[in-house]
């Protein structure tokens, strides 16, 4: 049983679900540190490390986010409500959330599949493909949008034209969020104890049952962590969708492009109000993901 | 616990230095021998020829001109937020007015011989080669089945010229303002892509989307130079685009010298070669750049101050209602 828990450590590091020891050891390769080493660091390092972490987090994340929240309320609650409840803002947010959910669902399936192939299969050029997976992160997103448009747009070589449609938005988001699920599932799969699967097989379980009852439960926290990150990213994505979506209000306009329009039109408090709604949504989802991971981890034990 | 200490001793001074640098360097505007030009992106090619020429003139001797290009509205906001700038060359007057409001540009900035204007152009309609849809003016763009591209007027300040050109064409035909508003609503039902900026719209038109693209003459000419296959129609009734330039109040005399040079004959020749209509009438080739018979300016509608509020206020305006109307009837 303890072997299983060890295998799950990487997922714990990816989500906020790690135990105290795992969280502190997160600077190192997760799942490796022995209990003995951790005890030695416990006394002084946490105070200084904690202070540094707090200072850094405040500077880079908390203060800017608080400033966004503050900016959203400059016009008072009625202005806030007006900004987030107007038809166009609502339509943009609804479309963004729906398309993000769809893309994340797609990512959960394809991302897990890709991770599976990368870990369990051997094929020529595997290392090359493995390095390829992170490239959507490296490519400036505006270039990604341009390339997708050139390929799948009106004058592209593809036999279909999805330029400036909702499908195009989904495609662009699928491209930029691809690495999240793959990269969180991969290490867990690698460390997964195959003896469990062999034992199940020898007891007469079919491959599908083995996957469903043994493998999948172990992967759930990692999949959830990857999906949460992918969703948060999709919600705020701008560069890759701004060209290919066509930005037609009520049809293909995503929240980030709507926000951009508000900022360009000097309605910064309205833009901040809509961002706050998106932030709250993301935060709620990330909390949910962390809850799923902890639960999954407990169940796996 | 050993690894933590050296890390800390390295990190803290670094953070302190970084913070100090951030606090100290803001708003160090170029005086004396440095001019920082902050401009919108379209005239970049022209300025890349004008600046070296300026640096060779007696007034520009020893002056280094740094350049920054971007979306006009973004550039204005960046300057207000403290980006060092001594000359602002932006797409439309309201962006300069932002700087006036922030007390960075003098209120009488347009009291120059050229009224603060550095380049002109007109709003045109780019069409597919040979004009297969027989588009001659703005009326045709609102006909059923015509697919139109124009940037979103809320994300692109420059696209507001397009909207006002289309609107003004109706007024020039003798329609009432209410009828012209209805026309805009019809026109925007035909808009199949609302890109965030003019260049994006040109790119999407080049990639095969749409029958017509509302754009500026200089942008259409640039696209042709870049090998995009398109023709363009100068409607009889269209708006004269005027792009402003201003020196910032805290900038040195060299900034004013640069503005003077940009509006002088040698620089205007460069702009003319890039497809702009020069502010010096003698430099405008009337054959290539005919005057639209029913040309009008933004002053006809009360100037940008009035127009921005009435047409482009993001919370309540003509265009805001039209964009909101798109959802009611189509989705």
Kindly provide the ipTM of the predicted complex, given to two decimals. Answer: 0.74
CB within 8 Å: A247 and B152: yes
| pLDDT at position B152 | 92
The pairing of beta strand B212-216 with beta strand B148-149 = parallel
A5 — pLDDT class (breaks 50, 70, 90): very low
Nearest to A163 among B73, B191, B209 (CB): B209
CB B269 within 8 A of CB B283: yes
Q: Sorting pLDDT into bands at 50, 70 and 90, what band is A294?
A: confident
CB contact (8 A) between residue B196 and residue A247: yes
Contact B324 A249 (CB under 8 A): yes
State how far residue A282 is from chain B, nearest Cα, in angstroms: 25
User: What mean pLDDT is predicted for residues A95-105?
Assistant: 96
Q: Which residues from A are below 8 Å from B328, CB to CB?
A: 87
**What pLDDT score was predicted for residue B326?**
83
The model's pTM is 0.79
Name chain A contacts of B4, Cβ cutoff 8 Å: 44-45, 48-49
* Per-residue pLDDT band at A300 (split at 50, 70, 90): low
Q: Are A218 and A7 in contact (CB under 8 A)?
A: yes
pLDDT of residue A42: 55
A contacts of B331 (beta carbons < 8 Å): 91, 250-251
Q: Kind of pairing, strands B148-149 and B191-193?
A: parallel
CA A165 – CA A241 distance, rounded (Å): 11
- Average pLDDT score, chain A: 84
The β-bridge relationship of strands B87-89 and B240-247 is antiparallel
Which DSSP symbol is given to B298?
G
Q: If you measure CA to CA, which chain A residue comes closest to B201?
A: A243
In chain A, residues with a C-beta closer than 8 Å to the C-beta of B1 are 40-41, 43-45
> Would you call B1 and A43 a contact, using CB atoms and an 8 Å cutoff?
yes
Which residues are CB-contacts of A47 (< 8 A; sequence separation ≥ 6)?
none
Q: Which residues of chain B does A149 touch, with a Cβ-Cβ cutoff of 8 Å?
A: 204, 207
Can you tell me the distance from the alpha carbon of B5 to that of B69, in angstroms, rounded to the nearest whole number? 44
Amino acid A298: pLDDT:
72
| Cα–Cα distance list, A117 to A130, A141, B11 (Å) | 10, 26, 41
- Residue of A154, A247, A271 to mutate, interface with B, max B Cβ within 10 Å: A247
Q: Which of A55, A252, A266 to mutate to test the interface with B (most CBs of B within 10 A)?
A: A266
Say yes or no for a CB contact (<8 Å) between B314 and A150. no
* Residue in A with minimal Cα distance to B190: A248
CA distance readout (Å), B178 to B19, B132, B181, B184, B315: 55, 31, 5, 10, 20
User: Nearest by CB to B154, which of A155, A246, A264?
Assistant: A264
**Residue A264 to residue B1, Cβ atoms within 8 A:** no
- Given an 8 Å threshold on Cβ–Cβ distance, is B207 in contact with A150? yes
Strand partners, B230: B128
Higher pLDDT, A42 or A71: A71
Cβ–Cβ below 8 Å for A243 and B203: yes
The rounded average pLDDT for each run of 10 residues, N- to C-terminus, in chain B (331 residues) is 43 42 38 83 92 94 93 91 94 93 95 94 97 96 96 90 97 96 96 90 90 95 93 97 95 94 96 95 94 96 94 92 74 35
Using the beta-carbon criterion (under 8 Å), do A163 and B331 form an inter-chain contact? no
Distance from CA of A255 to the nearest CA of B (A): 13
Smallest Cβ–Cβ distance between A44 and the set B1, B73, B196 belongs to: B1
Where on the phi/psi map is residue B27: left (φ > 0), alpha (ψ -120 to 50), or beta?
left
What whole-number distance in Å separates Cα of residue A257 and Cα of residue A81? Answer: 20
Residue A98, pLDDT score: 96
Nearest C-alpha neighbor of B165 from the set B251, B240, B246, B59: B240
Confidence at residue B200, expressed as pLDDT on a 0 to 100 scale: 87
Contact list in B for residue A250 (CB cut-off 8 A) is 326-327, 330-331
Per-residue pLDDT, A43: 59
Enumerate chain B positions whose Cβ falls within 8 A of a Cβ in A.
1, 4, 8, 11, 15, 71, 73-74, 98, 152, 154-157, 191-196, 200, 203-204, 207-209, 312-315, 323-324, 326-328, 330-331
Residue B43 DSSP code: T
Tokens at A159, concatenated: 């036999």
Pick A264's closest partner by Cβ from B157, B192, B200: B157
Residues of A with Cβ-Cβ distance to B15 under 8 angstroms: 55
Angstrom CA distances, A46 to A23, A34, A40, A49, A177, stand at 11, 18, 11, 5, 34
Q: Do A247 and B323 touch (CB under 8 A)?
A: no
CA distance A263 to chain B (A): 8
Considering only the beta carbons, identify the residue of B156, B209, B314 that sits closest to A262: B314
**Average of per-residue pLDDT across A238-258:** 92
Residue A19 has pLDDT above 60, yes or no: no
In this complex, the residue of B193, B323, B327 whose CB is nearest that of residue A246 is B193
pLDDT in tens, A259-293: 998 988 888 888 999 999 999 999 998 898 888 87
CA distance B262 to B250: 19
Does A153 sit within 8 Å of B152, measured CB to CB?
no
Band of residue A153 on the pLDDT scale cut at 50, 70, 90 = confident
**A-to-B residue pairs, Cβ atoms closer than 8 angstroms:** 109
Residues of chain B in contact with residue A87, where contact means CB-CB under 8 angstroms, are 324, 327-328
* Ramachandran bin of B266, using left for φ above 0, alpha for ψ from -120 to 50, beta for the remaining angles: alpha
Which chain B residues are Cβ-neighbours of A251 within 8 angstroms?
Answer: 326, 330-331
Provide the 8-state DSSP code for B239.
B
Backbone angles phi, psi at B135, to 5 degrees: -90, 125
Using CB atoms, pick whichever of A246, A262, A270 lies closest to residue B194: A246
Cβ–Cβ gap A249/B327 under 8 Å: yes
Chain A CB contacts of B192 under 8 Å are: 164, 246, 248
E strands in B144-234: 148-149, 191-193, 212-216, 230-233
Predicted local distance difference test score (pLDDT) of residue B328? 59
Q: What is the pLDDT of residue B120?
A: 96
User: How far does the CA of residue A119 sit from the closest CA of chain B (Å)?
Assistant: 34
What's the pLDDT score for residue B219? 93
């Amino acid at each position: 049983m303890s072997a299983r828990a060890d295998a799950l450590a990487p997922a714990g590091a990816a989500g906020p679900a790690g135990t105290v020891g795992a969280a502190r050891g997160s600077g190192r390769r997760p799942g490796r540190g022995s209990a003995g080493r951790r005890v030695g660091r416990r006394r002084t390092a946490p105070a200084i490390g904690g202070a540094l972490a707090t200072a850094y987090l405040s500077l880079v994340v908390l203060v800017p986010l608080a400033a966004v929240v503050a900016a959203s309320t400059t016009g008072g609650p009625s202005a806030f409500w007006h900004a987030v409840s107007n038809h166009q803002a609502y339509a943009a947010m609804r479309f963004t959330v729906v398309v993000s959910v769809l893309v994340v669902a797609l990512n959960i399936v394809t991302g897990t599949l890709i991770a599976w192939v990368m870990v369990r299969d051997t094929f020529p050029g595997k290392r090359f493909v493995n390095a390829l997976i992170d490239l959507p992160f490296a490519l400036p997103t505006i270039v990604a949008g341009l390339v997708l448009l050139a390929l799948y747009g009106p004058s592209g070589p593809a036999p279909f034209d999805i330029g400036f449609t909702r499908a195009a938005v989904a495609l662009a988001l699928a491209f930029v969020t691809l690495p999240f699920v793959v990269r969180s599932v991969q290490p867990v799969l690698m460390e997964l104890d195959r003896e469990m699967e062999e034992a199940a097989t020898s007891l007469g379980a079919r491959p599908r049952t083995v996957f469903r009852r043994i493998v999948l439960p172990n992967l759930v926290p990692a999949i959830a962590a990857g999906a949460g990150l992918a969703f948060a990213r999709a919600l705020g994505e701008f560069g890759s969708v701004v060209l290919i979506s066509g930005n037609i209000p009520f049809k293909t306009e995503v929240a980030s492009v709507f926000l951009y329009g508000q900022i360009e039109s000097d309605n910064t408090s309205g833009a901040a109000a809509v961002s706050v709604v998106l932030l709250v949504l993301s935060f709620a989802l990330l909390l949910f993901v962390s809850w799923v991971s902890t639960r999954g981890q407990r169940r796996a034990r | 616990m050993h690894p933590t200490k050296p890390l800390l001793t390295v990190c803290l001074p670094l953070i302190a230095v970084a913070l100090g640098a951030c606090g100290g360097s803001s708003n160090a505007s170029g005086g004396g021998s440095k001019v920082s030009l902050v401009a919108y992106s379209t005239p970049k090619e022209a300025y890349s020829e004008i600046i070296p020429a300026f640096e060779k003139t007696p007034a520009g001797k020893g002056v280094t001109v740094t350049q920054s290009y971007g979306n006009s509205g973004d550039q204005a906001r960046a300057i207000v937020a403290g980006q060092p700038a001594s000359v602002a060359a932006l797409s439309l007057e309201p962006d300069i007015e932002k700087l006036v409001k922030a007390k960075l540009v003098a209120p009488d900035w347009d009291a120059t011989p050229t009224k603060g204007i550095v380049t002109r152009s007109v709003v045109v309609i780019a069409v597919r080669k040979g004009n297969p849809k027989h588009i001659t003016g703005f009326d045709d763009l609102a006909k059923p089945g015509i697919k139109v591209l124009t940037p979103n007027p809320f994300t692109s300040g420059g696209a507001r010229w397009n909207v006002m050109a289309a609107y003004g064409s109706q007024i020039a035909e003798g329609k009432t303002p209410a009828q012209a508003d209805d026309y805009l609503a019809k026109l925007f039902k035909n808009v199949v892509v609302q890109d965030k900026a003019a260049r994006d719209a040109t790119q999407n038109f080049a990639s095969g989307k749409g029958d017509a693209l509302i754009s500026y003459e200089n942008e259409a000419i640039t696209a042709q130079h870049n090998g995009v296959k398109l023709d363009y129609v100068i409607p009889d009734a269209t708006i004269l685009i005027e792009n402003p330039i201003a020196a910032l109040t805290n900038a040195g005399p060299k900034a004013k010298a640069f503005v003077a040079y940009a509006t002088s004959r040698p620089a205007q020749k460069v702009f003319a070669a890039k497809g702009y209509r020069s502010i010096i009438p003698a430099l405008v080739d009337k054959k290539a750049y005919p005057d639209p018979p029913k040309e009008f300016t933004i002053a006809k509608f009360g100037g940008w101050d009035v127009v921005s509020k009435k047409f482009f206020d993001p919370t309540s305006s003509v265009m805001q209602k039209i964009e909101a109307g798109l959802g009611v009837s189509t989705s």
